[in-house]
Each structure stands twice: as structure tokens, then as C-alpha cells.
Structure 1
Amino acid sequence: MATQTAPTEATPAGFAAVSRAVVSAAADLVTGVQRAVVGPTNIRTAQSNAWDAILADRARNAARDELTREVAAMLARSR
């Protein structure tokens, strides 16, 4: 006894799938252009962005601390 199966029809790609494909292709293009322009060793990553943010926070904190010390010194001299 042979079993017959209905031929499967290819479902058309949905809008979301097409959108993901376009965004993925655009991201690959941007990454390729970035590598060509700045070189593969200078590519920005989430890790390097986070490290830059940490360094900026440290610099702001150091500047704030220095300003606090200067204001305290000025107040001490004026008394």
C-alpha cells in the first residue's frame, strides 16, 4: 500500500523575514566598509565602547574630585 502525500508548496517569505535579511545585509556592508576604512584592528566593538565609557567616567570623577578639592581650598583660605 503506497501512501500519497500532497505536494508541499513553498511559503513566500514574510515581511519580517525579508526585513531581517535586509538589515543583516546592511550590517555586513557597514562592517565591511568600516574594516576597509579604519583597518581590522581599529573596529569598534561593544567591549571597546564600554571601556571608553569607563575611562570617560573615571576622567569625569577625577575632574569633579579635583574641583571639589580646589573649592574646599579656596573656602579654607577665605576664612
Structure 2
Amino acid sequence: MSDTQPSGLVEIPRSVLSIAVGMIDTVERVVIGDANVRTARRNAWEAICADRARADRHNEVRRLISQLSVGSSPRSRASQAAVGPSAGRRAARS
């Protein structure tokens, strides 16, 4: 027996696969247009943009949280004063 496979059995699947990939690529370009075909470069750019947007949202949330620190405004101090005594009375009743 020979250690090598007959080339005919291997070449048929490769050629069929090659034709199928070429046909899928052609159909994609026809259906969605050349400008909308996904590429590695376009995928990388979209990932960079998504990371930047996520970082911007994260920074905005941090900024908002820092502004909402307890006692930073007269309104929050008034609400703290109103909640404080009633919370103490509820604890005393229990």
C-alpha cells in the first residue's frame, strides 16, 4: 500500500470548495454591494469605535456618580435630614 493518497480524491473536494467560496463571495457582492462587504479592516475599525464609545459611556457614568455624592447639594442634605429621624423611629419600634 502507498502512504500517499490518490490526488483525484483530494482534488475534487478542494475544487468544489473553491468554487463554492467564489460563488458565495460573488453573491454577497451582488446582493449587498462592494462597499458593504465586510473586511478584516472594517471589522477592526468598528471594534475600535465600539471600544471608544464604551469608554466614553463609562467616563460619563463616573462623572455623574462623582456629582451625586451624598450631601453635595442642599436638596440632598434636606432629604437626608428628613429620612434620618424617621429611620431611627422605625428601628426603635421594632
User: What is the TM-score with the length of structure 2 in the denominator?
Assistant: 0.59
Gaps of 5+ in 1: 1-10
Classify the secondary structure of the residue corresponding to 1:75.
coil
Number of the residue aligned with 1:13:
8
Equivalent positions of 1:1-79 (< 5 A) are 11-15=6-10, 17-75=11-69, 77=72
Q: Once the 2 structures are TM-superposed, how far is the Cα of residue 14 of structure 1 from its aligned partner?
A: 4.7
Which structure has more relative contact order (CA 8 Å, sep 6+)? It is 1
Count residues with an aligned counterpart: 68
- Which structure: greater helix fraction? 2
Assess, with a 3 A threshold, how the Cα gap between structure 1 residues 67 and 32 changes in structure 2: closer, same or farther: same
Which sections of structure 2, spanning at least 5 residues, go unmatched? 1-5, 78-94
What's the Cα RMSD here? Answer: 2.2
- SS of the counterpart of 1:34? helix
Q: Displacement, 1:22?
A: 3.7
Closer/same/farther in 2, CA of residues 57 and 25 from structure 1, 3 Å limit:
same
Which range moves more in the overlay, 46-55 or 20-29? 20-29
**2: distance between equivalents of 1:61 and 1:51?**
15
Q: Percent identity?
A: 38
Change over 3 Å in CA distance of 1:66–1:39 after alignment to 2: same
Match of 1:6 in 2: none
